[in-house]
Chain A
Amino acid sequence: QKEVEQDPGPLSVPEGAIVSLNCTYSNSAFQYFMWYRQYSRKGPELLMYTYSSGNKEDGRFTAQVDKSSKYISLFIRDSQPSDSATYLCAMSEGYSSASKIIFGSGTRLSIRP
């Protein structure tokens, strides 16, 4: 069993819809939870990170972490065609460079105009 599980999709929704992306994990030592966006033929870019449990909002994006359920989510409001990409969840035990980041396999998202 992988440490981080993520539904690969693909997920296709109409423009303006609310998108929900999710990951589960097994390592209770994870404290930092990240969401990366990866466009085709590009490297991943960090969207946002959350420390421990709770919610964090940044514009149209909201990240949620439920450590009791080992479940994290990313919500995208008012989705745009430019949001079409692969979204990778990622986690680590600490914030320093010594803390290895474990990535999910990514969910491919397509926003239909």
Chain B
Amino acid sequence: EAGVVQSPRYKIIEKKQPVAFWCNPISGHNTLYWYRQNLGQGPELLIRYENEEAVDDSQLPKDRFSAERLKGVDSTLKIQPAELGDSAVYLCASSLDPRQTSYNEQFFGPGTRLTVL
């Protein structure tokens, strides 16, 4: 079974430019997460989707970040305009409907490494 797929794997842009990241979760997983991992730090949640609905976006910097999950499957995270401090690895994760399991394991993709110059 394929894992969480993310693209691109690497992206280098100049500040003030827009950038978008794409995520395809594991088939059948209803919940999708976007995390940001700064160098030498653990992942921090940006936004969580239950199917198509963004149910927790409290940590998403809404002035420049946006996300969508059309049809409750793939998701896109966008930054416009990018700033130097946005350089990080952006991780996507997915999990099953928690009503189907006793523990809600999150499965992570390989991430997109963003460098803003």
Contacts and interface: CB of A to CB of B under 8 A. Distances in A.
A8 to B, nearest CB: 6
A104 B42 contact: yes
B8 interface: no
B26 interface: no
Interface size of B as a range: 20 to 34
B109 A43 contact: yes
Interface size of A as a range: 20 to 34
A75 B41 CA distance: 21
Contact of B91 (A8, A43, A46, A104): A43
B10 to A, nearest CB: 9
Contacts of A49: 103, 105
Contacts of B111: 42-43
B110 interface: yes
B44 A97 contact: no
Q: Which of A6, A41, A49 has the most CB of B within 10 A?
A: A41
Interface string A84-113: 000010100001111111011110000000
B4 A43 contact: yes
Interface string A55-85: 0000000000000000000000000000000
B81 interface: no
A98 B56 contact: yes
Contacts of A95: 98, 102-104
Contacts, number: 58
A36 to B, nearest CB: 8
B61 to A, nearest CB: 17
Interface of B: 4, 31, 40-45, 48, 50, 55-56, 91, 93, 95, 98, 102-111, 113
Contacts of A96: 98, 104
Contacts of A54: none
A103 B42 CA distance: 5
Contacts of B95: 97
A16 interface: no
9 contacts: A6-B42, A41-B110, A43-B108, A45-B107, A46-B105, A49-B103, A97-B95, A101-B106, A103-B41
